Structure 1
Amino acid sequence: MNATTPRRVLVTGAASGLGEALTSTLRIRGDEVLATDRVAADGIDLVLDITSGDDWTAALGLVEERWGGLDVLVNNAGVAGGGRIELCSMDDWRWITEINLFGVVRGVQTFTPMLKAQRSGHIVNVASLAGLVHPAGMGSYNAVKAAVVAFTETCGHELAAYGIRASAVCPSYFRTNLLDSMQGQDETLARMITELVEGSDITADDIASAVLAGIEAGEDVIVPDEAARQAYFLKWADRAAYDKVMRHQAARLDALS
């Protein structure tokens, strides 16, 4: 499929933030987009709670009825969370895993038979820079986002013979409303993350444009902003320097508590 051919796309978490920006960017390109979200809102075509198998089945049925197939599945919906080891409860771990990891898995499992049958498609799973580099205080978030990256790579290998690609999206901090969903007891971490998000000069539209370019380039791991690329490169190129940065951040987190 060339860069000008309209595609049939399903986007989760499309009511706000990156999901809304992706939906707009894809439609400007000329794609047909089924915009879904957990709650009904302006611009949402289908209510889809990504933790519900029944909702995913309904989404598949609507795609079959409307289009008869799907070109791009964008698993974007997710929540923010985390906390230092002793401040992140097992309930918090279960909550973030159910949404940020199992929500992605449910979507991929639902649509894989369709994609395999048509022998084409592109799975795009929105992870985070936290899936590639792992700062202190964010153990649960790091773990589930790293799992999304690993799962996406596995999908790419497993489905390549069917003409299906899989890409993981790994942005750093950008201005979004993701923190509205943040849950956990570590208030110091929440303040630090809020400062990083609100202080970023990167917008959801910036990330969406870079993601679209990465999809069209067929990138397996889309690192859509310079800050994320620099952090990932530092880990790869100079592990000692990377560890120093991460441990300085850990010390600052403790000092602010």
Structure 2
Amino acid sequence: MSRVLITGAASGLGAALAEAFEVRGDEVLRTDLDGADLRLDITSEEDWVAALAHVEETWGGLDVLVNNAGVAGGGRLDVAELDEWRWIFDINLFGAVRGTRAFVPLFKRQRAGRIVNVASLAGLVHPAGMASYNAVKAAVVALTETTGHELASYGVTAHAVCPSYFRTNLMSSIRGADTALAGVMSRLVDESPVGADEIAAAVLAGLDRGEELILPDAAGRAAYGLKQTDRAAYDAVMRDQAQKLEQA
């Protein structure tokens, strides 16, 4: 049985992950801004200190930290504003940084633990119109890999989760000046054949296999595979999408 803390666990993928862990008998602390076991604003260092204290007092340690909470964003380079970049980086990257920094000393003392960062396929595959989202999720992937290298000698592993579009409520958080891009993203989410429960199941299966990079859906694996094996074809697809976005 594992002791698991999940951020953004009141809904969407966070809730699906919490349920998946609980079904297999793990203890889960669901955290979120509201509607969870514990209030945790991932942009607040004080909230992270409180979450660490709660875990230590309640469980005496932690086995799995899941940095899941995040927001949607993006926009073409000449449309998205700098404030949008700052907003998405403070939540999607620095939220994970704060959580990791809060719990690393505990994991080092335990000489065990897993840090799971929910990134996105956008951290590996970079469609036009999504520079800020692509960049922040690529940073989360890089953070995760670095964490894994740095903590390996302590018996701590790090795992980046990179799903493509799946049905969730993430788009309710999107904001920004590029409304055309928001419309495209919303349609891709709404029309996806994959739901949060399926992604959660694939994530746990990937963790069980010890995968450091988890691509939980077939569409994501295909897109990343194309980039790795046929860069010219990948670039052609991305640039065709870019032209279509300009015409939207």
Q: TM-score scaled by structure 2?
A: 0.99
Structure 2: gaps spanning 5 or more residues:
none
Q: Please give the root-mean-square deviation of Cα atoms over the aligned residues, in Å.
A: 0.4
Aligned length: 248
Post-superposition shift, 1:216?
A: 1.1
Match of 1:209 among 197, 201, 206: 201
Aligned to 1:19: 14
2:61 and 2:209 map into 1 onto residues whose CA distance is 22
Q: Which amino acid aligns with 1:239?
A: R
Which residue, 17, 29, 33 being the options, matches 1:34? 29
Partner of 1:232: 224
Pairwise CA distance, 1:179? 0.3
* 1:107 matched residue in structure 2: 99
1:10 to 5, 16, 22: 5
* Residue 124 (structure 1) aligned with residue 116 (structure 2): yes
Identity of aligned residues (%): 65
Match of 2:128 among 116, 129, 136: 136
SS in structure 2 at match of 1:85: coil
Where do 5+ consecutive residues of structure 1 fail to align? 1-5
Determine helix, strand or coil for the equivalent of 2:78. helix
Provide, for residues 117-143 of structure 1, a one-character-per-residue CA deviation record: whole Å limited to 9, x for no partner.
000000000000000000000000000
SS in 2 for 1:134: coil
Kindly report structure 1 stretches of 4+ aligned residues shifted beyond 6 Å: none
* Cα-to-partner distance string for 1:192-249 (whole Å, 9 max, x where unaligned): 1111001101000000000001111110100000000000000000000000000010
Return the letter of the residue paired with 1:20: A
> Structure 1 counterpart of 2:120, which letter?
S
In the alignment, the residues of structure 2 paired with residue 104 and residue 14 of structure 1 have an alpha-carbon distance, to the nearest angstrom, of 14
CA distance in 1, matches of 2:99, 2:208: 21
Q: TM-score, normalised by structure 1?
A: 0.96
Secondary structure of the residue aligned to 1:146 is: helix
Distance 2:108 2:169 in 1: 35
